[in-house]
Amino acid sequence: MALVSGAPLASRSCLNKSLISSTHELKPLRRTILPTLRWKSATPSINMCLTTSNSVDAVQRRIANHHSNLWDDDFIQSLSTPYEAPSYRERAERLIGEVKEMFESMGPNNDLLQRLSMVESVERLGIDRHFKNEIKSALDYVYSHWNEKGIGCGRDSVVSDLNSTALALRTLRLHGYPVSSDVLEHFKDQKGRFACSSIKTEGEIRSLLNLFRASLVAFPNEKVMEEAEIFSTTYLKEAVQKIPVSSLSRQIEYNMEYGWHTNLPRLEARNYMGDMIHEMSYMNAEKLLELAKLEFNIFHSLQERELKHLSRWWKDSGFSQLNFVRHRHVEYYTLASCIDIDPKHSAFRLGFAKMCHLITVLDDIYDTFGTMDELKLFTAAIKRWDPSATEWLPEYMKGVYMVVYETVNEMAGEAKKSQGRDTINYARQAWEAYIDSYMKEAEWISSGCLPTFEEYYENGKVSFGYQISVLQPILTLDVPLPHHILQEIIFPSRFNGLASGILRLKGDTRCYQADRARGEEASCISCYMNDNPGATEEDALNHIHAMVNELMKEFNWELLKPDNNVPVSSKKHAFDITRAVHHGYKYRDGYSVANNEIKNLVITTVLEPVPL
């Protein structure tokens, strides 16, 4: 944060003049071409913005020169697609019936592996929502043959094999079956190492890839899963250097790059389509592939409609006139549509994108643009939750406040349709806690105080805004969430605390250098170093990475543990939101600077359909 305390407010005319952004630099382009971006700066930097006023006093403001919106509204509104035609939906429905028959046509020699492969394929292709019953039947069948030594390829197999066992361990665990990782001990040699040959055959490489993927769904204190991850990672890094470029090498690279906690289902589906023919050579993969492509493009047509709605909301809100904020509504929508492709969940996707954009706008106000006096007024206005509370706010804050007020109330209306009751009080409580955490950080900056690591971390879990991004969108889903269940998902529940903690720690490792450059000293890194004299940045980063690793395992357990109270679908949505936000921090802060990875994600998962 970078705040200037105690300065008088600039006049309305001066503020409006200083906040008007430059003319949009993007023009509607051909669908397959990324809109050209004229960067203001390769890395956000701070300039002092001096606004004049009618008095001799002036307000000095720090503005992080974030690049402008990449996705011009005219460009978004010009998008069109042919995949809304009924013929595509009709063809998809016929294929769904044919794929259901494929689940039943499996022989005894490899029926276990085939069932697991079918489940994995429809999930990785993003079409699993059509086959819920078939998936459950397939996994019930596999689980009925599971034992302490694992499974083989088929029900008649005498010996268990690592490939089938690792795939089953991961798949069954993700679907809530109680399977122990101790089964992997049976695949070690006498020296306690996972057995493998000196010649890396394709079959062995696939087994180790499935072992690696299984190791990522580890629970706390599962030593064998830690060993499996270390061993398989080393093995696969060596193998991918030796084997020719192929579907197998691409699958290794994809899985090692994104793992599970930063993987996005729609991105995986797009990548997997090109390789699944080779991965399922013993099945009628053509039908699966055609269905996956049709479903991808049919949903693409819905994405366009939703994106147009979101872009109009952004434009009509007046946010485009605020040149000191980051405009990432399209990127946030992309993340939402990469984790939920159910056509009925438009309110979830749009709600997530809007909430995240509001969080970003307020982050830029509290971190850089607002004075302490203004922030105190805005904080008080949020707590009053009344349009009349804007009376004492500066002009730019009045508009922002009203968009927050109207959007949150609109989301509460959507939630009421699903929950059958008014949930606005949950939203207000979340926003009050969020704003209070921001004010605490503002006070630290204003006073020059560097808090302890624990104090910063606990406050930072709230100020990250995870609860804001999750709460109202989840309430729009068709899953009843009475008060006692909701308390197990929202803050300060263990589930919410883990998610918020992971994202706060991960976000700080990507943002602390840029934040420090503009005078925002407090971060997990700086607070750890201050608590531990003599510790280096590398020491702090190593400590934080170790924390994230352990928190991930606890988060896995909170998601997958037997729980009769909280609907799995609700926890899964909250978990997937964490994965989506985590994805943006994969390489760097993808929210301050829309890097190539984020731009390519928008193009490949939202803007461009797949060739049929």
Torsion of CA 490, 494, 499, 504, to 10 degrees: 100
Residue corresponding to tokens 């269905």: 291
Q: Binding site: which residues?
A: 363, 367, 515
Residues in contact with 515: Cβ distance below 8 Å, sequence separation at least 6, in sequence order: 1, 523
Token readout for 395 is 């002009």
Task: Give the residues across from 61 on adjacent strands.
Answer: 49
Using DSSP, state whether 489 is helix, strand or coil: coil
Region for 259 from its dihedrals, namely left if φ exceeds 0, alpha if ψ lies in -120 to 50, beta otherwise: left
Region for 68 from its dihedrals, namely left if φ exceeds 0, alpha if ψ lies in -120 to 50, beta otherwise: beta
Residue 315 C-beta-side C-alpha neighbours within 13 Å:
14
Region for 104 from its dihedrals, namely left if φ exceeds 0, alpha if ψ lies in -120 to 50, beta otherwise: alpha
Distance of alpha carbon 491 from alpha carbon 497, whole angstroms: 6
343 upstream amide cis, omega within 30 of 0: no
Residue 321 C-beta-side C-alpha neighbours within 13 Å:
14
CA distances from 527 to 58, 315, 453, 513, 531 (A): 33, 39, 5, 13, 6
Q: Binding site for Mg(2+): which residues?
A: 363, 367, 515
DSSP 150: B
Amino acid at 416: K
